[in-house]
């Protein structure tokens, strides 16, 4: 066996595998969007398996609260940009592949150019706007999207937009969830997640990518695998063989104006800001940084365009719900001076404690 294949000898020895199969992996280009709890393990095993070109897209920085599940990073990495750091670690793991950092926020303005460079998209995101954006871009570009999601003790995996033998496409995310009210579904930082679940689901995503590229096994196309980490039981829900959604264009990304922790502290000191906490009563009782308390589901009846001379800053645990508040107000009052606290109370506590 040639030296270049020695690293992969155990997988080449698999039934149905060969050196020719390994070459498919080496010629493949895979994009992982989100270097978080799912993206870290998925990227690690894709790099180890010999994916020829691996792209990592993420605009965020490492946070201490990420470390229990984002296993590419260490405490000394707090505050550093995730994408270039993840690529540095992955390149050290396998010097024989090409790793590309996309240190950027994926938006409707850049997503089509980004996905055009790759054969497969791995959805490792933690917000619904980007998840729908990747799904729709995958459909428009004719690229498969390997979906993964985790919350508390439950995870999901599926493969969207696979070309069928008759030339049709398998279902995509909008066949399962045409629209989701993301304000009602907390993310991992707010609802919690067991760290091992991120590793399990991320590895399953990598497994589906390898199966797709090497044309081995049965893909999770037209179905969703649901895994329960507490009972170690899984079930597969069948959606169908063909998509029934018509996606003709991308939904434009709405840019949510934010303020940093430093900026907010300065505004509070100058008494030049209206501060609004959109969390629940229970969260408010545990800790707050002042301001009015209007839970997100009650916001519509209390907030208008606001005072044009004063900034209104909304905050929550991570910036997710406050971002939704800002987005909704901007739709109704385009000129409103509304902002979301970037990173939420998590960023406030980490920076000031």
**What's the half-sphere exposure (Cβ side, CA atoms, 13 Å) at 156?**
16
E strand map for 43-153: 53-57, 98-102, 120-123, 145-151
Tokens 């790099």, residue located? 47
What's the rounded Cα separation, in Å, for the pair 330 and 125?
Answer: 24
10 flagged as catalytic: no
Render 132-187 in DSSP notation, one character per residue.
HHHHHHHHHHT--EEEEEEEBTEEEEEEE-PBPTTS-B---HHHH-S---GGGS--
Token pair 């629940």 in the structure block, residue: 280
How far, rounded to the nearest angstrom, does the alpha carbon of residue 217 sit from its chain's CA centroid?
A: 26
Q: Annotated catalytic, 40? A: no
CB-based burial, 89-102: b 16+ in 10 Å, e otherwise: bbbeebeebebebb
- What's the start-to-end Cα distance of the chain, in Å? 56
Q: For residue 15, what are the CA distances in angstroms to 12, 18, 19, 21, 219?
A: 8, 8, 12, 11, 17
Q: Which of the 8 DSSP states describes residue 313?
A: E
Which residues have CB under 8 Å from 199's CB, separation 6+? 41, 69, 71
Is the distance from CB of 31 to CB of 209 less than 8 angstroms?
A: no
For 308, the token pair is 């044009």
Which residue of the set 10, 40, 203, 316 is catalytic?
316
By annotation, the residues acting in catalysis are 188, 316
């Amino acid at each position: 066996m040639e030296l270049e294949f020695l690293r992969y000898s155990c997988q080449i020895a698999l039934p149905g595998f060969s050196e020719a199969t390994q070459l498919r992996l080496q010629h493949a280009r895979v994009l992982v969007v989100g270097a978080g709890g799912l993206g870290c393990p998925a990227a690690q095993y894709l790099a180890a398996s010999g994916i020829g070109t691996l792209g990592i897209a993420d605009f965020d920085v490492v946070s201490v609260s990420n470390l229990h599940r984002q296993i590419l990073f260490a405490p000394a990495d707090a505050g550093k940009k995730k994408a270039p750091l993840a690529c540095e670690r992955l390149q050290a793991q396998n010097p024989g592949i090409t790793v590309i950092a996309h240190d950027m926020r994926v938006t409707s303005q850049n997503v089509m150019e980004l996905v055009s460079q790759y054969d497969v998209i791995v959805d490792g995101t933690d917000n619904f706007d980007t998840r729908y954006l990747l799904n729709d871009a995958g459909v428009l570009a004719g690229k498969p999207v390997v979906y993964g999601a985790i919350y508390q003790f439950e995870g999901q995996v599926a493969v969207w937009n696979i070309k069928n033998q008759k030339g049709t496409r398998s279902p995509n995310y909008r066949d399962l969830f045409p629209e989701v009210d993301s304000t009602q579904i907390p993310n991992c930082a707010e609802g919690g997640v067991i760290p091992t679940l991120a590793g399990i689901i991320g590895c399953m995503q990598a497994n589906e990518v390898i199966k797709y590229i090497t044309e081995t096994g049965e893909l999770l196309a037209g179905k969703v695998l649901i895994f329960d980490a507490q009972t170690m039981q899984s079930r597969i829900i069948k959606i169908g063989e063909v998509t029934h959604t018509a996606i003709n264009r991308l939904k434009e990304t709405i840019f949510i104006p934010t303020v940093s922790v430093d900026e907010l502290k300065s505004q509070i000191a100058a008494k030049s800001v209206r501060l609004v906490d959109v969390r629940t009563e229970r969260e408010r009782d545990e800790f707050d940084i002042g301001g009015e308390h209007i839970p997100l589901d009650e916001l519509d009846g209390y907030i208008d365009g606001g005072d044009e001379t004063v900034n209104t800053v909304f905050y929550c645990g991570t910036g997710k719900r406050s971002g939704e508040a800002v987005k909704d107000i901007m739709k109704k009052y385009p000129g409103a001076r509304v902002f979301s606290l970037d990173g939420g109370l998590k960023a406030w506590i980490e920076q000031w404690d």
